[in-house]
Chains A and B, each alone.
Chain A
Amino acid sequence: MNLYLENAGVSQGKEVILEGITYDFEPGRIYVLMGRTSAGKTSLMRTIAGLIELTQGKMLFDGKDFDALPTWQRNTSMVYQQFINYPNLTVLENVTFPLRRSGMSRALAEETAHKLIDKVGLGDFLDRLPGKLSGGQQQRVAIARALIRNANVLLLDEPLMNLDYKLREQLREEFRDLLTTARNSVTIYATTEPSEALLIGDELIIMHEGKVIQHGKPSAVFEHPNSVTVAKIVNDPPMSILPAKISDGMLCIGDLLRLRIPMHLVGIPDGVYQAGFRASELTISTDGEVTEQGVVDLVEVAGSETLIYVNTPTGEIVIQKEGIHGYHVGEKLGVSIPSARTFLFNPSGELVVAPGN
C-alpha cells in the first residue's frame, strides 16, 4: 500500500509549484516534510489529497493511478494549520462525520469516536460546538477527525503551528503516540521546526522551491546536511555561514581569524570554502581565546534560551545560550569559534565535510 510519486510536478501558468518529485512513501512510517514557507510542503500535500491537479509525472497508490481518482475517492485525511472543523456540528458529530459518510451505522461510529475522543482528551466535551472550545481543543477535534478512519494517506500540515508555545510542546509529546493509531496509513507531517522533525519523523524530506533537495533519517540529515540551504532549514536558529579558506594547514574564517585546522578537515585541499556553525555550538568568548569580534545586533529570549545575533566583519553570527542573559544591542562581544564543529561547504553551497558526532 505504498504511495509512489514519480517525477511529480505542478505548474500554474508559468509558475512552477512542484518539480521532479520522486519518492516512495510506505505505510506505518512518518514522513516529515521540512522547508521554509512557500517551499512547496502544503502544495505537495494538497496534490496528494487531490486538491491540486498534478500537471507532470505520476502518482500511484498500491500500484494504481492515484491521480485519476477525485479527492473524495482517495481516502485521505488532512489536518490543516488552521483548526478546521464543522462549526454547526458538536465534537462527537464532527468526529463521526467521516465514518457516517463511509456508511457506518450511527451506533458503531459513535462507539469508535468515543474511544478516540477520550484519547485526545475531549471526553468531557462531546456535545460542545467547536466555537466553544479553546484553540488546542479545536485542533484536537480536527486531529481526531483525521485519525478516526483508517485513511490511506494521513496528511498533517503544520498542525501545531497556530498553538501557543506550551500547548505546542504538550501536543508534540502526544503526537507520536496518537499517530500510532494510523499505523496502516502513509503519514506525512509538514513542519518548519527541526525539533518536531527529530521527535516525530521516521524519514525527513527537505523541500526548497518546490523540489526535494535531501531526504533520509532525520538525525542523518541533521548531522550531514548536503547543502547550505538544508543546513539553514534543519537548524533553528539557522546555522551561521561564514566565508572561509583553507591554506597552509590553517582554517581562516573571514580575513582576520586563523585557526589550526581541526582533525576532520585534515586532507581537504586548500581553497575557498564556506564554514557553517550551529548556534548552540558557538559561545561568547572568555579572555585569551581566539575570537571573532562583533557587535550585538539583536537579543531574543525564546523559552529558556537566549539568542544573540552578533554582527561581525565576516558576517552575522547567531549564538544560542542556555538561560536568560542580559546582553544589550550595541554591546561588543568576542565569539569563540569551535573549529572542531565546522561544517565545510564549497563556494556553491554543497557540503564538503561535516564534523563527526
Chain B
Amino acid sequence: MSKTLKYVFLSFWTLFVFVPLSWALTTSFKTPDAVNQGATFIPWVQFEPTVAGWQDILGISGYANLIPNMVNSAIVTFFASLISVSLGGFAAYGLSRFRYGWKYYGNSDIIFFFIAQRILPPVVLAIPFFLLLKGLNLLDTHLGLILVLTSGLMPIVVWLMVDFFNQIPREIDEMAMLEGCNPFQAFRRTILPLSKPGIAISAIFCVIFGWNDLFFSLVLTFTNVKTLPAAVVALNGTVTPFWTLSASAIFSILPLIGFVFIVERYLAKGGFSGAVR
C-alpha cells in the first residue's frame, strides 16, 4: 500500500471515529435551536454554546444528578478491576510457570475453561446471579456487583496475562531464585516490573468492560448502587432533550478516556531485549 493511500485510509478512519464523538460533544453544549440547525461543530462560529445540558446532569438545574452514579461506577469498576488484575495475574503466572492437570487435561484446558465462561451470554447468568446475591444478602450492594463483575473480568485477565508471562523467559525467574528470591519475591521483584505492559492492557480491558456494564447493573442493583450506564439509560430518551443526553454520554466516557491516557504510557514500556540472548 502506498504511503498516500495509507494516509487517505487513516484520515477516513479518524473521521469515522471522531465525527460522532465530536457531534455528541458539541450537541451537549447546544441550545434547542442550534440542535435543530443540523450538524454544526464550531462553537461561537456556527452556534452559541450553553452549559444547560451539563447543568441538567450535574444536579445544578434539578433535573438529574449523575455524580453519585459515577461514584458507584468508579467504586465497582475500581475494585472489580483491582481484584481481577491481581488474582488473575497470579493465576496466569501459575498457569504460565507450573504444570497443573489431571490425566490428559493440562494448563491449556484450564485456560480454555477460564475463557469459556465468556462464551455464555450474560442473560443466561442473570437468574443464577440474582438468586445467589439474594441468598447472600448482596443484592443492590457494591460488593455484590463487584463480585459478579470480577467473575466476568478475571477470565479475560488470565487469558491475556498467561500469554504475556509465556513471553518472559523462565530463566529470569530461575535466576532470581538462584540469587536469593523465593518464588513470590522472584515474581514481585523481577517478573512484575517486566509485566507492566501486560498489566496495563488487562487493566484497560477490565476498566472498559466494568465501567460499561449495563446488564448486571440493571438486574442486580436498584436504587442504592445504580451505576452510570444504568442511570444514563434511565434518562428516558423521549423526555430528556438531546443536549442533556449528549452531555450524559460524554460525561460517562470522560473517566475512561482519562484512564486510558494515563495507563497508555505503560504499554510502550517493557520488552525483554537483553533478558536472554
Contact = CB atoms under 8 A, between A and B. Distances in A.
Interface of A: 49-51, 70-72, 74-78, 80, 82-88, 97-98, 101-102, 129-133, 135, 138, 145, 149, 162
A87 B273 CA distance: 6
14 contacts: A49-B178, A51-B174, A70-B182, A72-B178, A75-B180, A82-B171, A84-B275, A86-B172, A87-B194, A101-B179, A101-B180, A101-B189, A130-B275, A131-B274
Contacts of A87: 194, 271-275
Contact of A83 (B180, B185, B277): B277
A84 B179 CA distance: 13
B180 A72 contact: yes
B171 A84 contact: yes
Contacts of A50: 177
Interface string B244-277: 0000000000000000000000000011111111
Greatest chain A CB density within 10 A among B174, B178, B185 is at B178
Q: B169, B172, B174, B193 — which one has the most chain A CB atoms within 10 A of its CB?
A: B174
B178 A101 contact: no
A129 B274 contact: yes
Given A98-B180, A129-B274, A86 B190 contact: yes
Interface centre among A131, A132, A133 (most CB of B within 10 A): A131
Contacts of B194: 87-88
Nearest to B275: A87
A332 to B, nearest CB: 45
B267 to A, nearest CB: 15
A264 to B, nearest CB: 48
A355 B172 CA distance: 48
B274 A76 contact: no
A67 to B, nearest CB: 16
B180 A84 contact: no
A13 B132 CA distance: 45
A107 B171 CA distance: 28
A85 B272 CA distance: 10
A82 B180 contact: no
A84 B276 contact: yes
For A98, A135, A149, which residue has the most chain B Cβ atoms within 10 angstroms?
A98
Contacts of A85: 274-275
A51 B175 CA distance: 10
B178 A131 contact: no
Contacts of B179: 72, 77, 97-98, 101, 145, 149
Given A70-B182, A72-B182, A80-B171, A86 B275 contact: yes
B274 A133 contact: yes
Nearest to B174: A51
B181 interface: yes
B274 A130 contact: yes
A237 B271 CA distance: 40
A253 B190 CA distance: 60
Contacts of B273: 87, 129-131
Contacts of A102: 180
Contacts of A71: 174, 177-178
